[in-house]
Copies of this chain bind each other. A is one copy, B any other.
Amino acid sequence: MGEMVALLIGEVAQRAGVSAPTIRYYEEIGLLGKPLRSSTGYRRYSESSVEQVRFIRKAQALGFSLDEIGEILKLSRSGETPCSHVRSLGHQHLAAVEQRIRQLHHFRDQLAEEVARWDAQDTAVTCGGLCQFIADAEPGVMNDGASLQPKTSRPQRRRRGVTGQ
């Protein structure tokens, strides 16, 4: 096997399947420790760094956010066993994914019903001032929180005349 040939950031990036700026970004937010530097300032990585980046990508692929991955890594560095924490997070993610699937199923059923109704109608007849397809959509389609992109919360504010709490 070869010498202790330290890897440049681009080589680590290539092996781990990410871009070089991504690795710097991971370092910046504390996911990766600061690597040794050559005399000219180049980052020098070992093979294990590649594994660490792959670890991050795997955890990401399992649905963990970078924040959560940071938690896990911090726990593991502090000597604690993060596995029980990871296990707990795993169950949480599983539940979240299953709920999301249920939401999407419901959403798909609603949308499929609407689209089927659209297909069954005559275009020329149904187009009024706006598109009647959408205007007439079932109220049940709304407020299910299952659109393609996750939404940010939109808290309501009190109004004059409305006795809120």
- Name A residues whose Cβ lies closer than 8 Å to a Cβ of B: 2, 5, 10-11, 14, 18-19, 22, 51-52, 55, 57-65, 72-73, 76, 81-84, 86-87, 90-91, 93-94, 96-98, 100-101, 104-105, 107-108, 111-112, 114-115, 118-119, 123-124, 126-127, 129-135, 137, 141-144, 147-150, 154, 156-157, 159, 162, 164-165
> Bound state CA distance, A115 and B95, in angstroms?
11
> Bound state CA distance, A165 and B81, in angstroms?
33
> Bound state CA distance, A74 and B20, in angstroms?
43
- B51, B83, B101, B123: the one contacting A101 at CB < 8 Å is B101
CB distance from A64 to the nearest CB of B (A): 8
Chain B hits for A147, CB < 8 A: 60-63
Number of copies: 2
Contact yes or no, B115 A105, CB < 8 A: no
- B61, B91, B164: the one contacting A141 at CB < 8 Å is B61
> Bound state CA distance, A47 and B116, in angstroms?
30
Q: List 12 A-B contacts (CB under 8 A).
A: A11-B162, A58-B137, A59-B134, A60-B147, A62-B111, A63-B147, A82-B127, A83-B131, A91-B115, A96-B148, A97-B104, A98-B108
Contact yes or no, B115 A154, CB < 8 A: no
> Bound state CA distance, A58 and B138, in angstroms?
9
Contact yes or no, A111 B159, CB < 8 A: no
Contact yes or no, B154 A83, CB < 8 A: no
Known: A5-B165, A131-B72, A135-B55. A126 touches B96 (CB 8 A): no
